[in-house]
Amino acid sequence: MRCVPELEVGPEERDQCRSILQTLLLWVVSLPDNLRDGLTAQEVAEAAWLQDDAVGATAQAEHLLEVLIQSGFPVRKEKKSRGGEEVAVYTYETSVVQANPVKFFAPLKKKYLQDLKRLDEKWIESLFWDVTMLTPEAQAELHVDGGIFGKCAPNDLRTQSERASNAPIRFSFPHRSGASTRRVHKVAYGGEIVVCDHWLEEFGEEIKHSDQHFRIVYICSKPSKTDEVITSALKDTRIAVCHAETLKQETRDALADLLAAQEMKKNCAAPNQGSLREYAETKHNAAIKAILKCQLVHRF
């Protein structure tokens, strides 16, 4: 009941929500388990003395019960047969999982630890993070402004709705960008950086542009080809190829933490789940720092 003030409804409706919750709770504690069959919206409206001249008490009860369910209140809706007709009945959920954040977080982490493909995708995404992903603490401690390839991030091909639903990033690979060495005796050598998630034969082709003096190819995930095959495909001595190895368990742990925290934040969006979101946020920030540390320590 303490969370009722957080509901996004008007003051009068908030009082009605409180009455509904009180009615459902009294009903559930006053009957043994086997006699609880739930209350219909009409019964709730009558028992809670709801009044609404505009839409009628029953419709108002239905509306507020939906609001309560969507806002994460412990109200359960079930379809039951009453007199041969299927109706929705509502009960106060007494066995609801308490707001222990670990109970939300742990199953999600377990799920993601088993999803190696998603972990690999998240790893590639993390390589291109920018400063918006960082906390000041992580920035100060690690001396970074994002992922190790943050400055040469490819375009994100996701649609707006895919972004909103936190779908995995789809990068436009291979991504090529210009680079140059630092100035040495007033001279800088220009070259090319190529980032891709797999090896392509074209990366090994001879550098033809006269202003390009090197090509560095970063393969973000472990390529299917062996080092010998890749080396034999290099047709110019000014090409270097760096590739990632299989992720270490420590990195996978951090990636699973991040994915679980992101999903938990999304799942716990109800107004009364602020403490769960805070927990998820803490986990999220810690995971980002851990992933960036893995990038710096393990490198390529």
Partner 1 sequence: MKKSSVHSPLRLPDHPSQQFELEMEEVDLPAKIAASAPEPTGLSSKQLSIQDALLKEGLMAVKLSATCRSLADLHLLLIDNLGQNSLETRRRYVQSITKWFFPDGIDGLLPKVWRAYADEAIIIDLLRWSYLAQEPVMGACVADALFPLANGIAVPPAYFDKFLANYLNKPPPEKTRERLKINLKRLGFLERARGKPDRLLPVIPQKTSFLILLHHIFAPRSMRAVELRTLFTNLFWKYLGYKSEDEVRTGTRSRSRRT
List contacts with partner 1 (CB under 8 A). Answer: 5-6, 8-11, 130-132, 134-136, 139-140, 143-145, 148, 150-152, 177-183, 186-191, 193, 210-211, 213, 216, 238, 271, 274, 277, 296
Give the nearer residue to partner 1 in terms of CB position, either 193 or 200.
193
Shortest distance, CB of residue 156 to partner 1, whole angstroms?
Answer: 13
Give the nearer residue to partner 1 in terms of CB position, either 78 or 145.
145
What H or E segment, with its residue span, contains residue 44?
A: helix 41-47
According to DSSP, the β-strands at 215-219 and 175-180 are: unpaired
Q: ∠61-65-70 over CA atoms, to 5°?
A: 150
Shortest distance, CB of residue 186 to partner 1, whole angstroms?
Answer: 6
Q: Which pair of structure tokens corresponds to residue 298? A: 């393990």
Asked if residue 245 lies in contact with residue 233, where contact means CB atoms within 8 angstroms, the answer is: no
Give the nearer residue to partner 1 in terms of CB position, either 95 or 210.
210
How many CB atoms neighbour CB 51 within 10 A? Answer: 11
Shortest distance, CB of residue 287 to partner 1, whole angstroms?
Answer: 15
Give the nearer residue to partner 1 in terms of CB position, either 57 or 292.
292
| Residue whose token pair is 């810690």 | 286
Give the nearer residue to partner 1 in terms of CB position, either 7 or 24.
7
Residue among 273, 268, 272 at smallest CA distance from 3: 272
Shortest distance, CB of residue 42 to partner 1, whole angstroms?
Answer: 25
Asked if residue 218 lies in contact with residue 300, where contact means CB atoms within 8 angstroms, the answer is: yes
Q: Which pair of structure tokens corresponds to residue 27? A: 């009903």
Give the nearer residue to partner 1 in terms of CB position, either 91 or 283.
283
Q: Which pair of structure tokens corresponds to residue 41? A: 């919206």
Dihedrals φ, ψ of 160, to 5°? -60, -45
